Amino acid sequence: MAKIKFTFEDKSKSPVEVLNIEKGYSILEAAEDNDIHLNHNCGGVCACSTCHVYVHKGNDQVEEISDKEEDFIDRAINPTLESRLACQCIILKEDAVLEVEIPDQSSIIGHEH
């Protein structure tokens, strides 16, 4: 099973390691299933940028970025080359190992899980 280490731009939050994630799940689904706060105003259908994350490790173990996703990342706060939308990062390998940083969500008006 795949694993994701979630870190947070807000350093008052401790890192969380999530194990036993099934292939085919998204980073957003893994966060939701493990009570990790990550806004997702559009419901995870690549129609906003509120689930913006930084994938520091394992980007080659999730689906490739699409043109549509790139367009929404351009609208995110502080995008970088490691920016992805968590709803679009579908895990491709059973043994995937990812490190994902969640940007500070305090300035985003959005829905929680």
With a CB cutoff of 8 Å and minimum separation 6, the contacts of 40 are 28, 32, 48, 50, 51, 86, 87, 110, 111, 113
Q: Note the pLDDT of residue 109.
A: 63
Q: How far apart are CA 76 and CA 10, in angstroms?
A: 17
Tokens of 103: 């940007």
Q: Note the pLDDT of residue 113.
A: 45
- Which architecture does CATH list for 2-102? Roll (3.10)
Sorting pLDDT into bands at 50, 70 and 90, what band is 9?
very high
* Span 60-95, pLDDT tens digits: 999 999 999 999 999 999 999 999 999 999 999 999
Q: Give the distance from CA 82 to its chain's centroid.
A: 11
Residue 67 DSSP one-character state: H
* Span 30-66, pLDDT tens digits: 999 999 999 999 989 999 999 999 999 999 999 999 9
